[in-house]
Every structure is written in structure tokens, then in C-alpha cells.
Homo-oligomer: A and B are copies of this chain.
Amino acid sequence: MKQVRISIIGFGSVGQGVAEVLMKKQDYLTKMGLDIKVIAISDSKGSFINQNGIDLNSALEQKRQKGTVANVQKTGVEIINEIEHDVVIETTPTNIEDGGVGLENMLASFENGRHVITSNKGPLALKYKDLVDTANLSGCKFKFEATVGGAMPIINLIKGVLAGNDILSIQGILNGTCNYILTRMLEEEASYEQMLAEAQERGIAETDPTYDVEGIDAACKLVILANSVFDMDSTYKDVDSVGITKITPESMLLAYNDGYVTKLIGEVRNGKLSVGPRLVPVGHPLSVGDTLNVASVQTDLAGPVTITGRGAGSIETASAILSDLIAICNNDN
């Protein structure tokens, strides 16, 4: 049995999802010969440490009841610096201003020789190359499938399953909130404002929806994809971004009657990054609706290959983190 000691830094929706998934899949992991021990969990109030392995059920229970797992006044970065372990699961909230505490956590992990798995887009949308170079120099693995489209496993698809293929371009719907609003605008022939309000009511859009509807979230994911697949060093500020706030149901209906749906498409082609409304033929793999995310890669051998999945959700995102964890434990690429 291979023992792997991990920390969960950031214990919001995704971090809790990771804990739930680790409990749910314990038998499966044991069968694979993996004994995964969570030795520390940090949230914004402090940390909980147990070198023999935290009882995840109690930790989740305590989080639900008290709003925090903290029983010691230690920050995530102190856990990373002070407690011996193998893998840091970094699930603090995205900060795209300066990368925030997530960036600090990742750099501290590499400095201490710990592998990192993250769902946090901020540091990767700002400092991709620095992070990857630092990880490589320190001999650490750095996995971030969960940053791009939650449970739409595009990065691992390209790196693993499509091995041998040159990737020529990437296009995708990388924001579920925008996809929901656009899908509903066409279905109801309703305005952007009306369908945004519906999305907010249903918990699909945030109270301040700027980050989603202006294309910033999609731009961050596009940058991570582009950097990772094409070995670029771009930031989300390099993306030519237009959001969905100016789209009218009348224009969408006209397009639909000609056989097209209107989607917010992120694209990497010839080193250029863009996010903006585009017309997609009905029946095209990118024409999916609801809150789905989708990414289509043009390859030299396999032609176009498209993958669709849920872009968000704590268990869905945790699933991407689990597959990254298994890959690290198995020493896969």
C-alpha cells in the first residue's frame, strides 16, 4: 500500500467536495493500492491538523455546524511550510487581481517539494509560466484539470488520450452561466436582463455577474488551456474579450431561423486568443445548451475532437481533482 499524505487548502464548496469524494472512493483507492491520508485542512479561519489522518466525515460536519474546521491558528501557507506531506490540494477562491493567497500557496508548495493540484484559476491566468517553471525546477507535479471547465476533462484528454496528435486550434464554451443565459434567451425569446435575473434566482449567476457575463471567466480558462497546450505565456489580459450583455433575442432568433445558435466562444488560433459571441450551426458539437461547457480541439490526425461536460459543481470539480490525484500517485504524466 502506497501512503500519500495530502492537505486540502481552502475548504469551501470545492474543498468540501474533495473530502466527500475521497470518502466515497476510499474502497476504490484502496483497491488501487493507495492509502490517501488528509493530514491537514485549512480554511480562512485557520487549520485542522491530524498527522494520522483526519476523519473527513467529522471535518465536514464541523464545517457545516461551525462554519470552520479551524482548531489551530495556522494559515494554509504555514501548513504547507511546516507539516510534512506529499500533495497540496489548493482550492482557495480565484483571485485574478494578483493571484492572491492561491499563488502564495502554490509557490510555497513547490519550495517545499510538494506536488500541487488546483481548481484555482487566478494564479494560472496570471503567472502560468512562472508556476510551471518553478514546479519543474523543484521536481514537483502541477495539475490543474479542475481550473478549466470543472468536469469537462479537456486538458487530460489532450495530454493523454490524444497523445501523438498535434493540436492546431481550440474552440469552446467555457462559461456555464453565459451558456445558460443564451440558451434561455432563445427558448423564451426573452431579453438578456430577464434571463440574467432568472439565472441569479436559480443560483446559476452571481449577484455581481460581471466576471461571467463580460467573458473574464472564459478568458481565464482559455488562457490556462492555451498556455498548457501550446506552451504559451499569456495572461487573461491578452485575450480580446467581448461578453454577452449586448446580445438581443431578436438577433438570436434571426440566426436560429437560418440554422445557427449564438454562443459565447473562446478560441485559440495561430497564437491569438479571443472570447466573444459567435454563430454555431445547429447540430455542430459546440451547439450544446443549458449550463454545459464544451471544448473542441482541431488535431492533425484525429480531426476535430470535442468534449462536453458540466462546467461547475463541487463534486464534479472534485472529480477532476481526484483524477489528477490518481495520475500523480500512479506517476502518470
Chain A residues within 8 Å of B, Cβ to Cβ: 21, 24-25, 28, 151-153, 156-157, 160-165, 183, 261, 282-285, 287-290, 292, 294, 296, 299-310, 313, 315-316, 318-320, 322-323, 326-327, 332
CA–CA, A151 and B310, complex, Å:
23
Q: Of B292, B302, B306, B332, which contacts A316 at CB under 8 A?
A: B302
A322 touches B309 (CB 8 A): no
Closest to A320 in B: B302
CA–CA, A111 and B153, complex, Å:
37
Q: Of B301, B307, B316, which contacts A319 at CB under 8 A?
A: B301
A288 touches B282 (CB 8 A): no
Task: Name the B residues within 8 Å of A284 (CB-CB).
Answer: 288-289
Q: Of B28, B183, B290, B294, which contacts A164 at CB under 8 A?
A: B28
5 A–B pairs (Cβ distance < 8 Å), ordered by A: A25-B164, A161-B323, A162-B319, A165-B319, A165-B323
Task: Name the B residues within 8 Å of A289 (CB-CB).
Answer: 282-284
B306 touches A310 (CB 8 A): no
Task: Name the B residues within 8 Å of A261 (CB-CB).
Answer: 283
Do A309 and B309 form a contact, CB below 8 Å, given A157-B157, A315-B301?
Answer: no
A305 touches B152 (CB 8 A): yes
Instruction: Looking at the assembled complex, report how far the CB atom of A315 sits from the nearest CB atom of chain B, in whole angstroms.
Output: 6
A156 touches B164 (CB 8 A): no
Q: Of B292, B300, B307, which contacts A307 at CB under 8 A?
A: B307
Task: Name the B residues within 8 Å of A164 (CB-CB).
Answer: 21, 25, 28, 319, 322-323, 326
Instruction: Looking at the assembled complex, report how far the CB atom of A217 sits from the nearest CB atom of chain B, in whole angstroms.
Output: 19
A309 touches B315 (CB 8 A): no
B309 touches A303 (CB 8 A): yes
Instruction: Looking at the assembled complex, report how far the CB atom of A227 sits from the nearest CB atom of chain B, in whole angstroms.
Output: 20
Task: Name the B residues within 8 Å of A296 (CB-CB).
Answer: 308
Task: Name the B residues within 8 Å of A288 (CB-CB).
Answer: 283-285
Instruction: Looking at the assembled complex, report how far the CB atom of A253 sits from the nearest CB atom of chain B, in whole angstroms.
Output: 14
CA–CA, A301 and B153, complex, Å:
13
B313 touches A303 (CB 8 A): yes
Do A156 and B151 form a contact, CB below 8 Å, given A303-B313, A308-B305, A322-B301?
Answer: no
CA–CA, A30 and B117, complex, Å:
30
Using A24-B301, A163-B323, A305-B309 as known contacts, list a sample of 10 further A-B pairs with CB atoms less than 8 Å apart, ordered by residue number in A.
A151-B302, A153-B157, A156-B160, A157-B307, A165-B319, A282-B289, A283-B287, A285-B308, A299-B319, A302-B319
